Amino acid sequence: MIANKPIGAIPAIVILLTLGAPATAETPQEIAETVSPSVVLLAMEDSNGQPLSLGSGFVVCKDVVATNMHVIEGAARGYAKLVGNKTKHNIRGIVASDAARDLVLLSVDGLEADALSIGDSNAVAVGDAVYAVGNPRGLEGTFSAGIVSSVRKVGDDSLLQITAPISPGSSGGPVVNSKGEVIGVAVATFKGGQNLNFAIPSQYLSALIPTIGAPVDLPKAAEARKSKKEKSILDEMGGRSLEGVSVFGFAWNYPGPHGLGDFTLSLRNHLRENVRDIVCLVVIYDGNRAPLDFSMVSTGTVPAGLSKRVKGEFGGGDIATGRSVQRLTTRDKADQPFTKIEFRILYFDIVNPDEPVDEQSNGPQRRGLPSDGNDTRKSNAATTEGRNASSLQDAEAELTRLEKRLAEAAARIAPAGAGPDLIESRIEGDFEGWDGETIFKLDNGQIWQQVMIGFTFTYKFRPKVTIFKTHGTYKMKVDGVSGTIFVKRLK
């Protein structure tokens, strides 16, 4: 553990967080609104400034963020970004750590956000509702619901196993209870083909906060840990979740000096679940082991146990540059040193078992982090309210704003009122629907009607639906259907 003399104000903060007035249960929407603004995306970089890993974290006190130790492992520097905010805040260093429990506290410059309330993980029981909040893409934060499925003993310590899905980029984010209190730090592990979702109990975090000291930069802290050969509580629970996807079969598309810098490789899914949105960084080095160029490749859904061949390119699409990269890195003579190519899986999403498998793959590589808004995948130009979306991030932000306006308009037509916050059921019977005014019945006996937006689908099964309140109206998510469906309940 890296720790100096405690900061005097910290124990008082802990007391206020843990012994404050009793909190009452909140709705999932209220929890998301409270917690998300204090969650950050963490982008870690190597000594060359290239992306090394993505993770999440959350504010525990002024300018201090909690996350998993493995999120920062091997990084020379990094930055934090609040949900919905493009400002990058540099990570000054580590102010406290507990490698044995995969926890670390980072000092972050100029981070203005409220500290989250720390709850009592000792009071958590199997079956309790929990919510995992992360920010794997730096867009709008991911909010996943689940329950505590087990409290596992690991030596003298414990781990909370949860059903809320945690994709790799969400590791390090807060896991909160129904009162919005942090009861754990999210971490996903890979073992025996399974993506296992755990939370490091908040009792360890509460014990770590009072030990905050002066920042130690990331390389020095890494050397200190290496010399101590510290083990982690997760060693017995499997490897990093990113190990669930691997890279193999790199090949130049056009070998020899006339190549254009195009290449292909395969992304293998070792998990038992389907995964999607795999993002892999490919770094290529010259014969002197100096970084020469990099490329981002990505793919759509890869079914469990299968691989997907994807294409990328070096040189940013410039033919001359691409050719030079290939010439510098192709072994033409016996005495020429081999070129090093490094593959880094940055993140992927676990597909919900109820969702259909999308067999299509995205096109060529993305050059630059998605969280920076540098996605350069070719797509049809889209305009929302007269403004061209210059990147995937901008487009999704525009869609979010548009959906909010649609929801507010739907609320004037069909307000949710004092009805339930969340309904999960299946549509009764087979039907052809979504003409804009479709009336349908759920297995629970409730009668609902679609309002505003029209879709037409033919169902040959009874789709699962989730209906929840958003901006004063009800929105319905139908498994297998992408789109906004606003509904109202009929008596």
Question: Does 283 have pLDDT greater than 90?
Answer: no
More confident residue, 247 or 421: 247
**pLDDT on residue 258:** 45
Select the more confidently predicted residue: 475 or 206: 206
pLDDT (0 to 100) of residue 378:
33
Q: What is the mean pLDDT of residues 267-295?
A: 82
Q: Which residues pair with 98 in a beta bridge?
A: 103
* % residues pLDDT > 70 (the chain): 67
> Which candidate, 44, 148, 60, 35, places its Cα nearest to that of 93?
44
Tens-digit pLDDT profile for residues 341-370: 889 888 787 776 544 444 443 433 333 344
For residue 351, give the 3-state DSSP assignment: coil
Beta bridge partners of 310: 265
Strand runs labelled E in 228-381: 239-240, 245-252, 262-269, 275-285, 291-299, 307-313, 341-350
**Domains of the chain, each with CATH number or no CATH:** 9-237 (2.40.10.120), 242-372 (2.60.40), 403-490 (no CATH)
- Confidence label for 300 from pLDDT (cuts 50, 70 and 90): confident
Mean pLDDT of the chain: 75
Mean pLDDT of 58-77: 92
User: Beta strand 103-108 with 89-98: parallel, antiparallel or unpaired?
Assistant: antiparallel
Residue 120's CB: how many other CB atoms inside 10 A? 14
Residue 392, H or E segment: helix 392-413
Model pLDDT, residue 209: 95
| Separation of CA 62 from chain center | 24
Number of H helices, E strands in the chain: 7, 29
pLDDT mean over 398-415:
74
pLDDT at 398: 63
What pLDDT score does 346 carry?
82
Residue 358: predicted pLDDT: 44
Mean pLDDT of all residues in 294-309? 87
- Residue 273 burial by CB count (10 A; 0-12/13-18/19+): exposed, middle or buried? middle
Q: What is the pLDDT of residue 60?
A: 95
Q: What token pair was written down for 130?
A: 């929990």
3-state helix, strand, coil in the chain (%, to 5): 20, 40, 40
Quick: pLDDT tens for 122-167.
Answer: 999 999 999 998 865 544 467 888 899 889 888 788 889 998 877 7
Residue 357 DSSP class: P
Mean pLDDT score, 296-323: 78
What three-state secondary structure class fits 388? strand
Higher pLDDT residue, 372 or 440?
A: 440
pLDDT for the residue 170: 82
Q: Which of 99, 91, 77 is nearest to 40 (CA)?
A: 91
Higher-pLDDT residue of 417, 437: 417
Q: Which of 264-278, 380-394, 467-481 has the lowest mean pLDDT?
A: 380-394
**DSSP codes of every residue in 189-246:** EEETTEEEEEEEEHHHHHHHGGG--S-B-HHHHHHHHHHHT---TTGGG-EEGGGGEE
Element (H, E) at 72: helix 69-72
Q: If you ran DSSP here, which 8-state letter would residue 460 be given?
A: S
Query: What is the per-residue DSSP string for 20-52?
Result: SSPP----HHHHHHHHGGGEEEEEEE-TTS-EE
At 290 the pLDDT is 78
Whether the pLDDT of residue 70 is over 90: the answer is no
Q: What is the pLDDT of residues 392-406, one digit of tens each?
A: 556 556 666 777 777
- 185 has a pLDDT exceeding 60: yes
In this predicted structure, the answer to whether residue 56 has a pLDDT above a threshold of 70 is yes
Check residue 376 and give its pLDDT: 34
pLDDT value at residue 213: 93
157, two tokens: 């310590």
Which pLDDT score is estimated for 425? 86
pLDDT at residue 333 tops 70: no
Structure tokens at 15: 């007391």
Q: Which residues contact 355 (CB under 8 A, 6 or more apart)?
A: 274, 479, 480
Highest mean pLDDT among 3-7, 150-154, 438-442 belongs to 150-154
Confidence (pTM):
0.62
At residue 426, the pLDDT reads 83
Asked if residue 73 has pLDDT above 80, the reply is yes
